[in-house]
Amino acid sequence: MSEPWTLFDKVWDSHVVADLGDGWSLLHIDRHLLHDLSGGRALGDVLARGLAVPNPELAFATPDHAVSSAPGREHNGFPVGERLRASLREQAGATGIRFFDLGQIGQGIVHVMGPELGIALPGVTLICGDSHTCTNGGLGALAFGVGSSELTHALATQTLRQRRPKRMRVRFEGTPGQGITAKDLALYMIGRLGAAAGTGYAVEYAGAAVRAMGIEGRMTLCNLSIEMGAKIGMVAPDEATFAYVAGRRYAPAGEMFDRAIAQWRTLRTDDGAVFDREEVIDAAEVVPVVTWGTSPEQAIAIDAAIPAPEAAGDAARAKAWRDALDYMGLEPGRALAGTKVDWVFIGSCSNSRLSDLREAASVARGRHVAEGVTAWVVPGSERVKRDAEAEGLDRVFREAGFGWREPGCSMCVAANGERVAPGQRSVSTSNRNFVGRQGPGARTHLASPAMAAAAAVTGAITDVRRL
Amino acid sequence: MQPFTTLTGVAAPLLRDNIDTDVIIRVERLTGTSRESMGAVAFEAWRFRPDGSENPEFALNEARYRGAPILLAGANFGCGSSREGAVWAMMGMGLRCVIAESFGDIFFNNCFQNGLLPVRLPGETVRHLAEAEGAVTVDLIAQEVVGADGTRAAFEIEPMRRTALLEGLDEIGLTLKHQDAITRFQQADRSERPWVWLASEAPP
């Protein structure tokens, strides 16, 4: 009999092409997502080095980072984004890689597009030149972000040289309260464990609250893994996963689907498997979480006071907190709730899927964006956009005074010229509140879609449960 | 990749935890700036004031740290985005080594792809190195850092990575030597997990 083994190890082991020694493996890569910011350049590098792309059928490309989210963008886009989109389209065409252009199903944020087209599947290895590739782990894929060099390596060899990370499991037990989302659980976890807690680990999320979570919520949870330092986050696939995957464009169908499911059912952590680190979080104690600083670990409950640097523990940390408070224009000891906001951004690979938009729309319905606030909804993909429009969510948002935009990364990363102005305050459903992330001098508070919508309609950071 | 053996020079302190790659290089610099000229805009949010002038309070702007080849940083250095431009920008400033308690995983990998040596040492040692004025030596052959005051600190590095850096090896070249194993894996996998293997699609 074999030893009890983890989900992560099972997927890893089944992809080892060669053992390179010292814990290193040459790992087969089953799926590769390419985007405009790095995809065109990497493909150009491969060709310039005289190398070929041996498995173009396993790679999928779409522009997301630098494309405008403005309606009518096909005719009047962001110039840099247009250049990158053209380059990606051209290089994908030259190498035989599928490319989803603006207006086509498949265009959108890579990590929204991958699962919705059945490109990301349980048990596959999937990479992308983007740190939020861990999002795809919500389906049970072993998915991680890489830099340009590894991206080129994978295109040219369909493999990567990787060292096996340590294993960590976070179990969310209990039942989350009404209105508490995967985003709140994730921010709570990072606030409690820290932005480096997962460094060097592959994280598996488990427990009753994860089992009960929808697949899109699991993607949100896995998405935030990298903000805890882990480049890999995974949830074991189950019946809900199989139901999600069924019928998607590149997913197996018919008899092949049954065969795949038989294998996917083995992708779970065996009882008694050992993790290098294990954490348990009581989901019932989580309330809506909002960040106050410039690291995702600087996150507090909506009803908590902004912390004082004196409580940071040591001098260096106190200095970092003070700098964060200065940058954010906040005073310690005061409540975060009631802080006036200028911008609300609902979108990003954290929270731009249909369930996220429904959640935000349920708050926006019958209300109106407060005076002085600009609020945008940027659907994660063309598919999400069309589905949302089919059920009238665009109308709900428009009537409430939100901007209804075209799919892409938009203001999460501000690579497309769409920025929060210096000194302005934004509540954002994205994943990074770093200095300058949403534009130089922009002040970002991370929150769930419902909390973001609540901030939009009240003009201030607000506990959505009190609306 | 540029080989790395030993290095002696000034070590500039940036002892803050969780320095992310967005701060090291802004996203629009990845598209609007050539790899070679990214050094001029590394750490720009801290290095320059909103009017474009240099921020005198930023350590790397101090005369004694200008052009330093070594950076001393806080824990979780290089967290966040996978952008390899962070490494290119640092190398563009003249940096060849970063010493920190811990690093973001993706950044750590990206360093080795380019010949920027990331050295993990305890936070206390990093702070101690920052206290003494003068040159620091980083010796990859001996796996040792020697501080300006003569303090010696041994560091761990995986043998394969050490060899690759010392010799400036090209990873793609190394992997292509495994082409037979890759082909064998793919053939077996096609019958074991046929659903993973998609057909090519003619471009529209």
Could you tell me the sign of the dihedral formed by the alpha carbons of A386, A288, A137, A244, in that order? negative
Give chain A's domain count.
3
B198 touches chain A (CB under 8 A): yes
pLDDT at B203 exceeding the cut of 60: no
Same domain, A215 and A155: no
User: What pLDDT, on a 0 to 100 scale, did the predictor assign at position B33?
Assistant: 84
Flag whether A171 is in a domain.
yes
Same domain, A340 and A205: no
Decide: helix, strand or coil at residue B16. Answer: coil
Same domain, A89 and A174: no
Take residue A28 and report the two structure tokens written for it.
Answer: 């087969």
Residues of A in contact with B196 (CB under 8 A): 30, 121, 124
Among chain B residues, CA nearest to A141: B196
pLDDT at A1 exceeding the cut of 70: no
Same domain, A95 and A200: no
In the A/B pair of chains, how many CB contacts fall below 8 A?
182
Q: Are A122 and A141 in contact, with CB atoms under 8 Å apart?
A: yes
Same domain, A54 and A76: yes
Flag whether A306 is in a domain.
yes
Domain boundary among A138, A164, A190: A164
pLDDT at A353 exceeding the cut of 60: yes
Give CA–CA dist A265/B3, Å, rounded.
46
Give CA–CA dist A16/A159, Å, rounded.
9
Q: Does domain B6-157 have CATH number 3.20.19.10?
A: yes
Same domain, A294 and A210: no
Domain boundary among A164, A184, A207: A164
For position A320, which CATH number holds? 3.30.499.10
Whether the full predicted model's pTM is greater than 0.95, yes or no, is yes
Same domain, A18 and A60: yes
Taking a contact as any Cβ pair under 8 Å apart, which residues of chain A between 33 and 52 contact chain B? 37-38, 49, 51
B167 touches chain A (CB under 8 A): no
Same domain, A216 and A332: no
Flag whether A253 is in a domain.
no
Flag whether A303 is in a domain.
yes
Cβ contact A24–B158 (<8 Å):
yes
Q: Are A298 and A443 in contact, with CB atoms under 8 Å apart?
A: no
Query: Containing domain of residue A406, as a range?
Result: 289-466
Q: Are A63 and A81 in contact, with CB atoms under 8 Å apart?
A: yes
Flag whether A185 is in a domain.
yes
Going by the DSSP 8-state scheme, the letter that residue B77 receives in this structure is B
Taking a contact as any Cβ pair under 8 Å apart, which residues of chain A between 259 and 298 contact chain B? 259-260, 263, 295, 297
Same domain, A216 and A301: no
Per residue in B53-84, pLDDT tens? 999 999 999 999 999 999 999 999 999 999 99
Percent of chain B predicted with pLDDT > 70: 98
Question: Radius of gyration over alpha carbons of chain A, in Å?
Answer: 21
ipTM over cut 0.85? yes
Same domain, A22 and A75: yes
Taking a contact as any Cβ pair under 8 Å apart, which residues of chain A between 148 and 187 contact chain B? 148-150, 152-153, 156-159, 161, 163, 165
Same domain, A104 and A180: no
Same domain, A53 and A180: no
pLDDT at B133 exceeding the cut of 90: no
Give CA–CA dist A205/A241, Å, rounded.
14
Domain boundary among A101, A133, A164: A164
Q: How far apart are the first and last CA of chain A?
A: 56
Residue with tokens 């408070």: A325
A256 touches chain B (CB under 8 A): yes
User: What pLDDT, on a 0 to 100 scale, did the predictor assign at position B202?
Assistant: 54
Give CA–CA dist A116/A309, Å, rounded.
43
